[in-house]
Each structure stands twice: as C-alpha cells, then as structure tokens.
Chain A
Amino acid sequence: GDSVTQMEGPVTLSEEAFLTINCTYTATGYPSLFWYVQYPGEGLQLLLKATKADDKGSNKGFEATYRKETTSFHLEKGSVQVSDSAVYFCALIQSNFGNEKLTFGTGTRLTIIP
C-alpha cells in the first residue's frame, strides 16, 4: 500500500538557519503530495501542495518540489523563525474514485530557538 516516510525528529535549529525536512513516498500511480503544519493545541493547516511531477509548492517562505524520479517531497525554508516551531506532516492522496484517503508520515517536531 501507499506509505510516507518522514525525517525523524525532533529537529532543533537556531533562528535564521536553513531548514530541510526530508519526505519520501511509496505509491502506485501519481499521488498528490502535501505538507501540513500543526501548531500546539491546534488542528492541521495546509502549508503547501503539489499535484504532479516537477510542481513546486510554496507558502510563507516554505517550498517543496515533487520529484517523481526520487519519490521525494522535501520541505525547505531559507531562514526559519521562532514562530515556525510546530509539527510538520508530509502526506499523500491517491485518486481512488471517491474513496481518497490521506496517508500521513509520522510527523517531525521542529523547535526554533532564538
């Protein structure tokens, strides 16, 4: 079945550091790929998405590129802020004729220190 493998956490960085959170997937066909962010005590917020190979999703300084050849969707940000501290989930959806389900990675907890 489909699966998502995420970089193990927790990750701790200093403010203004460069961020990469690795995500790779296993799926048949051509899934859509997502990054969700969850702040403490909150629900999941869609951060960015990409629906086909070589698409780049971007939002709030975060970027991720859908790489079919390496089955990856790594999240990057050039300069992190304390407010980026949260849990990040990589996920995919496979088209399934009305029975689409999100397959999540395990989540990566990110802490940014001033």
Chain B
Amino acid sequence: DAMVIQNPRYQVTQFGKPVTLSCSQTLNHNVMYWYQQKSSQAPKLLFHYYDKDFNNEADTPDNFQSRRPNTSFCFLDIRSPGLGDAAMYLCATSRDGETQYFGPGTRLLVL
C-alpha cells in the first residue's frame, strides 16, 4: 500500500543534543510537510517543500531545519532541542497542495 512512513516512532534525546527525524513516502507526491503537535492541540505547520522549493512558516524557530534530498524523503533537524520542543512531529504529503496524507508521527522526548 502507498503510504507515509516516519522513523523512529519514538525518539528520546538530551537537552541541546541535535536530533533528526525522517519521513519517506511511496505516494510519489510532490509536496511534503512537517507539523508539530503538542498535547490536546491541533497540528502546527513548521514548513513544507513544494517540489524542491522550501517554504518556511514565519513563526518557525531557527532551531528547526529541513532537508529534502529527493522526492521520497524529507528530514526534520532540530539543532539544539529544548524542553519545549517535546511534541509529536507529523509528516504529511500531497499532490500539488490538495488532500494531505499523514504519517503515524514521531513522538520526541527531551530529557
């Protein structure tokens, strides 16, 4: 089945230690998104790639970066995680900005 895959499902890191979350997709969608979701809240868009074009949300902290080496993969890098960055991180994909399909998420714990 075509799908969005996120690894790992759970990630524990230390305060200030860089961490990378990964997302891959077999849907061949040209748009990929990263969201942050904190407890009992709606997901918040961090940034997205439309093909190779990177689009950062105005309020996304500089601590968050992203890479998209090819159509299928996208990475979220958190350069110096703080306690406030503990959250569920969701990857999503779409074709040309239409219906978004989400992965299962990676839950990040910062110690």
Q: Is the CB of A96 within 8 A of B97?
A: yes
Q: Is the CB of A44 within 8 A of B90?
A: yes
Stretch at the interface among B14-22, B64-72, B75-83, B101-109: B101-109
Q: Does B87 contact A (CB under 8 A)?
A: no
Neighbouring B residues of A26 by C-beta, 8 Å: none
Contacts A43-B90, A44-B90; A104 near B42 (Cβ below 8 A): yes
Docked complex: A81-114 residues within 8 A CB-CB of B = 89, 93, 95-96, 98-102, 104-107, 109
Instruction: With a 10 A CB-CB cut-off, give which of B94, B96, B102 has the most chain A CB atoms.
Output: B102
Select which of B45, B88, B98, B102 is within 8 A of A45 by beta carbon: B102
Q: Is the CB of A46 within 8 A of B101?
A: yes
Interface size class for chain A?
Answer: 20 to 34
Instruction: With a 10 A CB-CB cut-off, give which of B40, B41, B100, B105 has the most chain A CB atoms.
Output: B100
Q: Does A42 contact B (CB under 8 A)?
A: yes
> Taking the nearest CB of chain A, how far is it from the CB of B56, in angstroms?
12
Q: Is the CB of A102 within 8 A of B96?
A: no
Select which of A41, A42, A44 is within 8 A of B43 by beta carbon: A44
Select which of B90, B97, B98, B99 is within 8 A of A99 by beta carbon: B97
Q: Does B50 contact A (CB under 8 A)?
A: yes
Neighbouring A residues of B55 by C-beta, 8 Å: 99
Instruction: With a 10 A CB-CB cut-off, give which of B40, B43, B94 has the most chain A CB atoms.
Output: B43
Tell me the nearest residue of chain B to A96, going by C-beta: B97
Q: Is the CB of A43 within 8 A of B102?
A: yes
- What are 16 residue pairs bridging A and B, where the CB atoms are less than 8 Å apart in the complex? A34-B99, A42-B104, A43-B6, A43-B88, A44-B43, A44-B92, A89-B42, A93-B97, A98-B96, A100-B97, A102-B100, A104-B42, A105-B42, A106-B41, A107-B42, A109-B40
Q: CB within 8 Å of A: which residues of B?
A: 4, 6, 40-43, 45, 50, 55, 88, 90, 92, 94, 96-105, 107
